[in-house]
A and B are shown apart, each in its own frame.
Chain A
């Protein structure tokens, strides 16, 4: 491809992302997840109001970005918290969910502007994702008291949420790369030391915690974190590397949750990871014999993202038909199933590697 053709190709790709229409089930799952996170924010705000050690933030030292006149009174703040509860509930049940997402995200931003002490990266991230989700057709499935609408709809905002993920990884990884203390491991060493007790209490062997606090351990950990973030910003977008990127990202965020008190940010990122899956419910088919292939019941139970369409037929062989129509059996079929179901995805690389071993591929004793 010539250099002159590159801008035209980028423009064409952006147009495709802007105009694409597809299945919206994944967006609905993300909506329910974010709704629960917004409800959790309302609960945290309520806890703070009710806790005698805290109470209304305006009654003690707070650090507003906004002029003090725009900081709410206690009564107005309580009304805002009620609005957060209502918005969170509406998002979860799917009724008026999209305007409610804007209200929930807006109230979170407003609260952080009223008191910088309330700022956390996860809250900023939640507000950004909530705003983008409001512009996505996330209210067509999983709506209380209303049948699902399965027709395709514009998913440009879903792509915008994916772009947001890359922006975050680039900003985070880039700022760490430019920070000598970070890339050299000094910050990481201090952080591991600070959370050492917490990490040991979570069952990480003290020897490992100790090793991570050595200059070499901390330096490797820091460089690994920076490389991972920068790589994920790109890996998640290429069809060939996307699944591997999701797997690396899954363990990256679970690792962060294990080593630090950060939990809600991990929940947000894993929810948005769902949106990187191809938006086509039932895009793959499993043909099977209901009498012989009970394993399909397990697959059905774990297929929360509706990746597979099941086609039972007496006497049929167990076959997975991929999107392109290719029939897969044995380990190759298992790799496809493990790669598409959220829970077995954890061990997907091992199954995928096994399925690619030449010995197995050439074996005449392939599974029927």
Chain B
């Protein structure tokens, strides 16, 4: 199977390099620009401040990456952000983190991480949504703060 004849070689190279050209051309459509050979795309950093939105709309910041919440039977549970979201995802809150694949990629990771946390904390019956305020520096320039909200 690995010994290709002249025709097979031509087809193989056409498919291999054609696919690669497609991946390179579409790299901008992916937040992390993956599979496009865009080495060292940015020297950026983001700081993620996450708060919990409770019933009634009240926002409670997650301090030190820890929070307590009641389950639907009233039992109290402790939750730790960094146990659910680990490096190289944004595992630390309120601290600047390197965004070597770019600010956009880090925003995507933060949004997906918040979704994951909400989906995997069934014992937290209080939190209706997670809200992140994001401070970012892109290639040394300070960007306007951004806000992301992910509901349960």
Contacts and interface: CB of A to CB of B under 8 A. Distances in A.
A, B from the same assembly: yes
Interface stretch (A115-123, A325-333, A342-350, A353-361): A115-123
| The 6 nearest A-B residue pairs measured at CB | A190-B43, A171-B37, A191-B43, A61-B116, A186-B139, A181-B139
Given A116-B34, A117-B89, A124-B35, A60 B83 contact: yes
B32 interface: yes
A160 B13 CA distance: 7
Interface string A38-67: 000000000000000110000011110000
Contacts of A163: 13, 17
Contacts of B89: 61, 63, 117
Interface stretch (B2-10, B63-71, B122-130): B2-10
A247 to B, nearest CB: 21
Interface residues of B, number: 42
B43 A175 contact: no
B140 A168 contact: no
Interface in B3-49: 4, 6, 9-10, 12-13, 16-17, 20, 24, 27, 32-44
B85 interface: yes
A277 interface: no
A147 B13 CA distance: 31
17 contacts: A60-B86, A61-B85, A63-B89, A99-B2, A116-B34, A117-B89, A135-B2, A160-B13, A171-B38, A175-B37, A181-B138, A186-B43, A186-B140, A189-B139, A190-B42, A191-B40, A194-B43
Contacts of B27: 175
B109 A117 contact: yes
Contact of A190 (B24, B86, B139): B139
Contacts of B4: 135, 156
Interface stretch (A23-31, A126-134, A299-307, A313-321): A126-134
B85 to A, nearest CB: 5
Contacts of B112: 61, 63
A79 interface: no
Given A61-B85, A191-B40, 20 more contacts: A18-B13, A19-B6, A60-B84, A62-B116, A116-B34, A121-B39, A124-B34, A124-B37, A125-B37, A164-B20, A168-B37, A172-B38, A175-B27, A175-B36, A181-B42, A187-B42, A187-B43, A189-B43, A190-B140, A193-B140
Nearest to A185: B139
Nearest to A128: B20
Interface residues of A, number: 46
Contacts of A191: 40, 43
Interface of A: 18-19, 53-54, 60-63, 98-99, 102, 112, 116-117, 119, 121, 124-125, 128, 131-132, 134-135, 154, 156, 160, 163-164, 167-168, 171-172, 175-176, 179, 181, 186-191, 193-194, 260, 265
A3 to B, nearest CB: 24
A99 to B, nearest CB: 7
Prevailing SS type, chain A contact patch: helix
A69 B114 CA distance: 20
Nearest to A191: B43
B98 interface: yes
A365 B9 CA distance: 53
B113 interface: yes
A54 B139 CA distance: 30
B37 A63 contact: no
A191 B139 CA distance: 8
A236 to B, nearest CB: 16
Identify the interface centre among A18, A128, A135: most chain B CB within 10 Å of its CB. Answer: A135
B36 A61 contact: no
Contacts of A60: 83-86
A187 B116 CA distance: 31
Nearest to B38: A175
Nearest to A153: B3
B2 A172 contact: no
Contacts of B34: 112, 116, 119, 124
Given A171-B24, A186-B140, A135 B86 contact: no
Nearest to A139: B2
B150 interface: no
B86 A171 contact: no
B102 to A, nearest CB: 10
